[in-house]
Structures are given as structure tokens and as C-alpha cells.
Amino acid sequence: MTDNHRVPSLSSAISRLATVSWASIRVRYRPSRRIALIHATAALLDVLVYASAVYFVVAVVFERSGFARFELILVGFIAFLWTIRSILEASTFVELRKRMIESSSVPIAATIVVCLAPPTFTFLISLGLAVAIEIAVLGSVERLAAVAWLVPTVAIHLVWNVVLLLGLGLGLERRWIDGVVPALLSAAVVWMVSPVMYRFEDIPSPANALLTRLNPASHLLAAYHNALWRAEPMSLKVLPAVGVIGLVVLVWLVRRVAAARVPPRAAGETQRRPDGQGPHLIVALDGFVPPLQAGRIYGRWRGDVGGLTGEDLTTLIEAARGRHDHDEARIASIGGASRIGRLYRDSLSIYPPWALAQLAFACAMESGEDSLVLDGILDEVRPAFLAEAWALLEREAANGRRVTVVSYIAMSLPGAARGSFSAVGAGGQSRSGPIGPDLDAAYAALRVAARG
């Protein structure tokens, strides 16, 4: 067993999550490159542009103006854009969780951090901008006397962003929903009926009760307004209860998401320890699902991970393993081992299947696991890469590493390939033996059995 299998201490888990958080922010904003300034500027300007445009409409059409009005709109956009960006990150949750299960000792927490660290970073920058604008306009910090109340306000808001992320991620994984668009539309409705474009005194009292008292988001916005503009403490009538409810829902969702993980398949005769002469190949034909050993199983990659590049995802995986996410030489070596060339720095969404498979193999080989199961990864790699990969697996097996390759096609291995195999076809028909002529004979026998 490697360290990845052990339950980490609290301090170790926090340290790893901090590393993953910083890695996630780095791959989204790229602080080491010139484009980082553009990303940071865009994160600030989009809030200002949206708030200024709405303020202009409110001032011209409804004749409601003044700095207090602009403050109201600005904090509304800052708060709701954090939630909207968190909802958008849910579309990548399923794939990123699979990668974190393979690499992190705390996979659910690591996935949450990977998804929410960048939008939270942007939110905090925007919040700082709002404070700076107030100081610049008013010329004093007197109205920031209650700014400490931002801490519980932001914490409650964060809890509900995590709830949205996990709920949508679970829905996508279970195929209860097809996407996050309905959630975005719902968030837009909540934003429209909350006190963002209007103040409480702008609407009749009955409407005030309907749109604000029964809307937790309105109380959240009021807490932001009190801390930032009015120098008043957060109301303790509604938000503490909202926070407690959010924590209860969060715990329930974490358990459901953890239960949704496909458990390792139990050991069986198709899974046996190699004899040092090479890896063990399991060929599962005609839809047969082979039993596998308990432990980390490395599966196929998909390209729908929010525009991340291969290099980005590799960086996140290495950070989740507790390694330094800024070790550029190691990250570059994994890209080189994958033999995908310039694609390594391109978006995973444009990767052909062979490139995804080769990069997945390279990352799996760098895992440091003593027992390695490659579940379907080598089915789509290029023939030349397969020959190199199998030779590497032979060397790893000779050095005592337990290597199992699961294939769902009649894999064509190099003529000099060594190792053992178990092939299973229709009706549970099985063949096993050393890799070589016996493997080709097994394929032929299973095809005959399938036709019969």
C-alpha cells in the first residue's frame, strides 16, 4: 500500500487540500504567464460592467440613482456571480471526482476544492474591489466597522455553494438531470426577485414580505450590505438557521456522493498475481464485467473538464497526490511520456480518444501505486504507443509492481510481449495462459463459442 491508501491526519489533509486549491487557481489564472493579468482584470471588470450597466438602466428608466444604489447592485452581482460560477463548475464535477478518487486520499473534498477554489478566489478579489471603491468614494473607513460580519456571511454562502455543486454533480452522475442550465435559470430568478435592482423601500410592504422574508438569498444580501455599507451586524433571525440547514444538507449530500462511488470489484480467479514475467492481461469480451482486486483502479478519461488542458489536469492530479504542483519538470515529463506532443497544452475537449488514453496511462504510471489496475486505458492508444507501454509494464512487473491491464477488445500485443492473460467471452467461456500464441488461440476459441 502507498500513502494514497492511508487515511490522512487532519493536518495532512488540510495541507493537501491547500496544495490542490492553489494548483486549481494556478491552472485557471496562470500567474506565471502574462495572460494572468488579463484573467485578473477580467474577473474585476465583468462585475463592474454588469453592475454599471444595470445601474445605468435603473437610473435612466426608474430614476433611482446615487452611490448607495450602485453599492446595492454591485454587491448583488458579486454575490450571485459566485453562485453562478459555482453552478457552472458542477458540469465538471463527475469527471474531476473520478480523477480525485484515483489520486487523492480525500477525493470528495479534493473535488470540491478543485471546482470551487477559482470562483471563490474571483469572489474574494471582487469583494476587495467593492471595499476599495467605498473607501475611494467616501474617503474613510468608518462604515467598515462591522466588516468582521462578512466572515459568517461568506461561510454560510460558501456552504450553500458547496450544496449546489454536490447536488448538481450527483444529479449529473445519476443522470437525473442532463445539465446545469435549469439551475442557472433558477439562480437568475432568485437574483431578479432579491434586493439587487431595488431597495426595500422601493416596493410595497406586502411585496417586501413575499420577495424578501421568504427568500434566504435576500437575507444573505442584507448581511453583505450591513457589513459593507451600513456598519451594522448581521441579522441573527434567519441566516444562522439557513446555515445550519445548509450544513445538514451538505452532510447528507456528501454521504450520497460517497455512496455513488462504484466500489472496487471483488477478487476472483480472473485476477491473480503475476509471476514476475510480465503484467497480467484480463480481456473481457461480449460485455463481461471482470472481477478485479480491491484498490485503486485507473479508468478512462473524458475531455469534458471545463476547458482544462492536459497539462492542467496533470497538475491537479499531482497536487492531489500531495506532490508539489509547481514541479514543472515532473509535469513536463508526464506529458512527454504520453507522446501526445503539442496537444498536452491544448484543451482536453479537443483531444482524440487515443490522446486521452495515452495521457491517462502516463499519469497512472506515475501514481506510485504498488498495485496498478488499468481499466480499459490501453484499448484506444496508438499501436506504437501500445508496444512502448507494454514494454514499460513488463519492466515494472519485473521490479515487483503488481500490474493488471483490463481490456474490452481483442487486444493485439507485440509478438515479444510477455505476461499472463485471462480472457472471458459470451456465457462465461474463459481461456487463460501465458501471453503469446495462446492468447491468439483464446481469441479464436471465444469467437467460435460466441457464434455457437
- Calculate ∠ Cα 419-422-424, nearest 5°: 155
320 grid coordinates: 492531489
- Note the pLDDT of residue 2: 39
- Of 194, 29, 16, the C-alpha closest to 125 is 29
- CA-CA distance, 308 to 74, in Å (whole number)? 30
- Of 197, 204, 232, 233, the C-alpha closest to 218 is 197
- CA-CA distance, 345 to 336, in Å (whole number)? 11
- Note the pLDDT of residue 207: 65
Q: What three-state secondary structure class fits 355?
A: helix
- Note the pLDDT of residue 125: 87
- Of 198, 197, 196, the C-alpha closest to 79 is 196
256 grid coordinates: 450520497
- Note the pLDDT of residue 400: 87
Exposure string for 94-128, b = 16+ CB within 10 A, e = fewer: bbbbbbbbbbbbbbbbbbbbbbbbbbbbbbeebbe
- Note the pLDDT of residue 87: 95
Taking the chain (452 residues) in runs of 10, the rounded mean pLDDT of each run is: 53 86 86 63 73 73 72 86 93 93 91 95 88 79 81 95 96 91 90 74 67 79 86 86 94 88 46 60 81 75 88 93 78 94 93 96 91 92 94 91 89 86 81 87 78 64
pTM of the model: 0.86
- Note the pLDDT of residue 263: 45
Residue 325 identity:
D
- CA-CA distance, 257 to 384, in Å (whole number)? 39
- Note the pLDDT of residue 266: 41
Q: Which domains does the chain have, with CATH numbers?
A: 8-260 (no CATH), 280-451 (3.40.50.300)
